[in-house]
């Protein structure tokens, strides 16, 4: 049953939007703090090619060993304390973070450090001998500027004596030149990213001054309130009653004839629970074409920035509520016609309602279509380190953001890798990052869920990022214009071996004729949503040695003291190297400490017993006995790291009463052993015909 007539009725023409009582940005004679603040809260501004034109670049503390993909060091990861140069000035030493000719403007400043918050940051404009802005260390966000969030946005987990990512979105324009420096006594870990615009020579830019900042206080307060409220402005919205979209069905949502723009889209999906919502929202596909060209193909939850399932999101361009409501405020212009549709790729019906608002649009030579693409890939093993592509775009447009939904089966940080963004065929990326978490506005991962208007982490299942994780970033003044092409790659580097599932949703505006490397992926959208329990079970099954009898499942018949003996999950150490991903851990405390465990044997014939154990920096040297008979040789369980020990043949023995009694005793410690020295771990025993 088709509901296209009902759905079409919910898209009504409205007046051109105003935002939070602030006027939309106007093309004026000069770029200034005021004009940039106006542009920041104008939803329609990104939908037109920028005027004046600009190039967006990034200065950062990336590891300078990164030179080229075919050279050593392309995945080097010492991304701290990397500066352009060091200068001596008036008896002090200043490290240069940014040195850029104008006209231009700083549009995003991300900064983090370790617990040492000492240091001084200076911003010099137009070649002046004295800085236009100077503040102690992290007072960039809380000092005498007094900007307040979200234009000055510390991470919610930020502590004065701890780590945290901080973002400054206050635009700092300059007419001729900008230099940013750092000064401190001693050395600590300093990480930074500075996104800045470069305008063509001759562009009139009014340089930032303290007086201009003072005059802009009321607009700044208004922008802060508007960004936090994410106001839609006046709308004339209709809606639909909840309806069912059959399995395999498509509901067309024709919009009014153009020129016009879809300015707001609200989708409400009704599901029974979290698991149902995850499946429904990944298999419900949002599609759009504008003026005869495909522009959007994306699962609903990813399109709205939620990743997998419904995860609360409070951002400038999108909102997601836990009641199933999802809102997009991306402005989507079209010249003649546009068609929006929802397709249910699931095997069961999906119940939904939809609301939208279409406004008039003056189509001109600067107007662009909005695009969203979804790139999914599973079974991404790391190591090896690699660059994973979000998207490659051919054409002319502006890149405005992305949402990254990840499934990580291992309790380890997955995101050491840096973003690498190439514009118009660059050999070396003009945007080279310092870590996945830094790109998304926080630092020293993992961190708790948090929300800001332009970046956030709406889903983190476990403190060590095991399970599902979603990060999202939308670009406002830091959008990246491209004239011919854009390529976005993210390094895959994790603390421990893991196998990731990546789903990157990318957003951009482009002129008609633009294409991307990401085709629709209907098969991937219908794959089962991975769960942590299933991932752990699969990893354990895959790592189980043929014929293995797991030591952690054996009966402990005796032990010589009150020390701990129990199951240890080896996932933090690369669990696939241990049968079933677990071992029996014995925290012995002295020479001679021992345990006796029972190895079941289903046959009464003699069998060769082979022990698989663990080596570690604090593990002991062991001697063994089977059924009271001493085993020849000992096993040194010391190693500089945690690893599986070479197989140790215990010998050929005959079981008694359907089992072997395995006696394990601490015989000594390697001279290089550290810490407890007498611990040991037993993985499994295999029984072979002699």
pLDDT of 20 > 80? The answer is no
Query: How do residues 257-303 score in pLDDT, each as one tens digit?
Result: 989 999 999 999 987 566 688 999 999 999 999 999 999 999 999 99
* Sign for the pseudo-dihedral over CA of 613, 616, 619, 621: positive
> Among 15-24, 39-48, 353-362, 375-384, which stretch is predicted with the lowest mean pLDDT?
15-24
Residue 462 domain-assigned (yes or no): no
pLDDT of residue 22: 35
**CB 226, CB 44: distance < 8 Å:** no
**CB 652, CB 607: distance < 8 Å:** yes
Beta bridge partners of 502: 377, 406
Residues 220 and 297 in one domain: no
Residue 108 domain-assigned (yes or no): yes
Residue 77 domain-assigned (yes or no): yes
Domain closes at, from 310, 343, 364? 364
Residues 117 and 244 in one domain: no
pLDDT of 9 > 90? The answer is no
For the chain, the average pLDDT equals 89
Residues 52 and 143 in one domain: yes
pLDDT of residue 1: 32
Residues 163 and 62 in one domain: yes
Residue 512 domain-assigned (yes or no): no
pLDDT of 414 > 60? The answer is yes
pLDDT of 609 > 70? The answer is yes
Q: Judging by beta carbons within 10 Å of its beta carbon (0-12, 13-18, 19+), is residue 64 exposed, middle or buried? A: middle
Chain position carrying tokens 């708790």: 448
Residues 166 and 255 in one domain: no
pLDDT of residue 240: 61
Residues 334 and 245 in one domain: yes
pLDDT of residue 533: 84
Domain closes at, from 328, 345, 364? 364
Residue 135 domain-assigned (yes or no): yes
120 pLDDT band (50/70/90 cuts)? confident
Residues 247 and 225 in one domain: no
| Lookup: tokens for 20 | 């939070």
Residue 70 domain-assigned (yes or no): yes
Residue 461 domain-assigned (yes or no): no
Residue 388 domain-assigned (yes or no): no
Query: How do residues 415-471 score in pLDDT, each as one tens digit?
Result: 999 999 999 999 999 999 999 999 999 888 777 888 899 999 999 999 889 999 999
Q: What is the CATH number of the domain that holds 268?
A: 2.60.120.1390
Residues 355 and 311 in one domain: yes
Query: How do residues 60-94 score in pLDDT, each as one tens digit?
Result: 999 999 999 999 999 999 999 999 999 998 889 99
Q: Which domain holds residue 266?
A: 1-17+234-364
Q: How many percent of the chain have pLDDT more than 70?
A: 90
Query: How do residues 648-664 score in pLDDT, each as one tens digit?
Result: 999 999 999 999 999 99
pLDDT of 10 > 60? The answer is no
Query: How do residues 480-499 score in pLDDT, each as one tens digit?
Result: 999 999 999 999 999 988 99
> Among 16-20, 174-178, 248-252, 393-397, which stretch is predicted with the lowest mean pLDDT?
16-20
CA separation for the pair 627, 601 (Å, rounded): 13
pLDDT of 137 > 90? The answer is no
Domain closes at, from 339, 364, 389? 364
Average the pLDDT over 620-644 and give the result: 96
Q: What is the CATH number of the domain that holds 569?
A: 2.60.120.260
Collapsing DSSP to helix, strand or coil, 184 comes out as: coil
What Cα–Cα distance (Å) separates residue 515 from each residue in 286, 372, 402, 430, 622? 18, 11, 17, 22, 64
CA separation for the pair 342, 298 (Å, rounded): 10
pLDDT of 139 > 70? The answer is no
CA separation for the pair 466, 472 (Å, rounded): 18
Average the pLDDT over 557-575 and give the result: 90
Domain count within the chain: 3
Q: How many percent of the chain have pLDDT more than 90?
A: 74
Cβ contacts of 458 within 8 Å, gap of 6 or more: 305, 306, 307, 311, 312, 313, 320, 449, 451, 470, 472
Residues 68 and 96 in one domain: yes
Residues 603 and 558 in one domain: yes
Residues 45 and 170 in one domain: yes
Residues 187 and 256 in one domain: no
pLDDT of residue 215: 92
């Amino acid at each position: 049953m088709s509901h296209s007539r009902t759905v079409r009725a919910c898209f009504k023409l409205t007046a051109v939007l105003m935002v939070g009582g602030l006027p939309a940005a106007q093309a004026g004679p000069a770029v200034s703090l005021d004009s940039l603040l106006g542009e920041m809260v104008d939803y329609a501004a990104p939908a037109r090619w920028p005027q004046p034109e600009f190039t967006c670049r990034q200065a950062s503390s990336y590891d300078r060993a990164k030179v080229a993909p075919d050279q050593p060091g392309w995945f080097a990861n010492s991304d701290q304390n990397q500066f352009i140069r060091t200068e001596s000035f008036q008896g002090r030493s200043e490290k240069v973070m940014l040195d850029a000719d104008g006209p231009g403007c700083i549009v995003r400043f991300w900064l983090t450090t370790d617990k040492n918050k000492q240091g001084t940051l200076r911003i010099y404009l137009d070649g002046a001998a004295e800085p236009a802005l100077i503040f102690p260390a992290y007072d960039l966000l809380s000092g005498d500027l007094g900007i307040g969030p979200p234009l000055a946005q510390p991470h919610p987990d930020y502590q004065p004596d701890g780590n945290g990512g901080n973002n400054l979105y206050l635009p700092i324009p300059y007419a001729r030149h900008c230099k940013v420096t750092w000064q401190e006594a001693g050395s600590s870990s300093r990480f930074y990213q500075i996104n800045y615009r470069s305008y063509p020579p001759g562009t009139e830019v009014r340089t930032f001054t303290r007086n201009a900042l003072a005059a802009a206080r009321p607009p700044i307060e208004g922008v802060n309130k508007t960004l936090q409220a994410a106001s839609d402005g006046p709308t004339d919205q209709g809606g639909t009653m909840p309806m069912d979209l059959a399995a395999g069905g498509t509901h067309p949502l024709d919009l009014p004839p153009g020129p016009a723009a879809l300015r707001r889209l609200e989708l409400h999906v009704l599901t029974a629970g979290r698991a149902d919502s995850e499946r429904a929202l990944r298999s419900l596909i949002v599609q759009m074409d504008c003026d005869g060209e495909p522009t959007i193909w994306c699962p609903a939850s990813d399109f709205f920035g939620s990743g997998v399932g419904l995860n609360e999101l409070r951002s400038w361009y999108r909102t997601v509520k836990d009641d199933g409501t999802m809102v997009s405020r991306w402005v989507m212009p079209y010249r003649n016609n546009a068609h929006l549709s929802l397709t249910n790729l699931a095997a069961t019906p999906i119940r939904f309602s939809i609301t939208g608002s279409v406004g008039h649009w003056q189509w001109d030579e600067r107007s662009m279509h909005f695009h969203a693409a979804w790139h999914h890939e599973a079974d991404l093993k790391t190591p090896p380190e690699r660059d994973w592509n979000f998207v490659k775009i051919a054409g002319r447009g502006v890149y405005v953001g992305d949402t990254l939904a990840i499934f990580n089966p291992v309790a380890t940080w997955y995101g050491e890798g840096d973003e690498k963004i190439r514009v118009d065929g660059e050999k070396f990326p003009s945007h080279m990052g310092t870590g996945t978490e830094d790109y998304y506005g926080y630092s020293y991962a993992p961190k708790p869920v948090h929300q800001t208007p332009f970046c956030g982490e709406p889903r983190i299942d476990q403190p060590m990022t095991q399970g599902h994780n979603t990060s999202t970033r939308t670009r406002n003044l830091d959008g990246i214009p491209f004239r011919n092409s854009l390529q976005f790659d993210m390094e895959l580097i994790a603390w421990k071996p893991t196998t990731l599932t990546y789903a990157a949703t990318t957003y951009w505006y482009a002129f008609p004729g633009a294409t991307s490397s990401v085709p629709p992926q209907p098969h991937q959208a219908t794959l089962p949503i991975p769960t942590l329990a299933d991932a752990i079970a699969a990893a354990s099954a895959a790592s189980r040695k043929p014929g293995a009898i797991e030591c952690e499942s054996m009966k402990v018949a005796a032990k010589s003291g009150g020390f701990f003996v129990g199951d240890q999950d080896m996932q933090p150490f690369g669990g696939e190297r241990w049968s079933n991903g677990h071992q029996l851990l014995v925290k012995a405390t002295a020479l001679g400490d021992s345990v006796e465990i029972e190895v079941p044997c289903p046959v009464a014939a003699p069998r060769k017993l082979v022990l698989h154990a663990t080596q570690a920096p604090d593990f002991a040297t062991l001697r063994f006995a089977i059924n009271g008979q001493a085993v020849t040789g000992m096993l040194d369980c010391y190693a500089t790291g945690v690893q599986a020990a070479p197989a140790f043949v215990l010998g050929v023995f005959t079981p008694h009463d359907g089992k072997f009694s395995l006696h394990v005793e601490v015989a000594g410690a390697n001279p290089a052993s550290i810490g407890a020295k007498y611990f040991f771990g037993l993985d499994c025993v295999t029984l072979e015909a002699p």
